[in-house]
Amino acid sequence: MSGRTRIKLCGFTRAEDIQAAVAAGVDALGMIFFSKSQRAVTIAQAQALRQQIPAFVDLVALFVNPDPAYVQEVIEAVSPDLLQFHGNESPQDCERYGKRYIRAFRVGSPGLDTREDVLAECREYASASAWLFDSHSAAYGGSGHGFDHSLLASVVTASDARPMILAGGLTPENVGDGIRRLRPYAVDVSTGIEVSPGVKSPEKIDAFVRAVQIETQKLND
């Protein structure tokens, strides 16, 4: 895909990190509503952090196999622009809130370990606003590990594919390769811009955003 590569940074827990990300020019910020994550936020924390996010930057709320009542509570209290699902949610589970959603796929998991299986699974989620590709991890996401990008070959060429978000182990050093190889609509990172889980580095945020911009510019030249 030509044009601008959108940038989503994930796993925010601190106001100063959100300010750094907004200043760097990101398109979307993720907060994690999954209590087992090292980057989890409470609804009260998210309400306070949300004040740091200006117009035209989207807030994405992440869930893993959530209780629907909890998702509804987050929607009402925090007003996320999009939902993102990382667990075993069915298409109906993702659609039931009437909100735009991102479906995450853990590429390399059983049943998602061939090109054909990946595309077939993705097609079940035709109602998603984007398909996010992450590595297989027992923690459901945010592992900092990459995966075999060749498993996305069928998705890349499918005419009915939803916009691709590339995630999983991205860093300022390797994100350019991923963009060149797959031409995703957007990239998503958590670990690669951190000093420790949930604590972001302004320098790494800037380096990541610059690396995306430089690679995208090269593709457009």
Ligand X SMILES: O=C(O)c1ccccc1NCC(=O)[C@H](O)[C@H](O)COP(=O)(O)O
* Active-site residue flag, 122: no
Question: Least distance (Å) from ligand X to the CB of residue 133?
Answer: 9
Q: Give the pairing of strands 130-135 and 164-166.
A: parallel
Q: How far apart are CA 171 and CA 106, in angstroms?
A: 18
Question: Least distance (Å) from ligand X to the CB of residue 63?
Answer: 8
In angstroms and rounded to an integer, the radius of gyration of the C-alpha atoms of the chain is 16
Position closest to ligand X via CB: 142
Q: Which is nearer to ligand X, 167 or 179 (by Cβ)?
A: 167
* Active-site residue flag, 160: no
Nearest to 86, CA basis, from 107, 113, 55, 115:
107
Catalytic residue among 17, 94, 134, 188: 134
- Interface contacts to ligand X, rule CB under 6 A: 10-11, 32, 34, 37-39, 62, 64, 86, 134, 139-144, 167-170, 188-192
Q: Which is nearer to ligand X, 108 or 168 (by Cβ)?
A: 168
Question: What 3-state DSSP class applies to 153?
Answer: helix
Structure tokens at 32: 């994690």
- 195 dihedral zone (left: phi>0; alpha: psi -120 to 50; beta): alpha
Q: Which is nearer to ligand X, 52 or 103 (by Cβ)?
A: 103
Active site positions, annotated = 10, 134
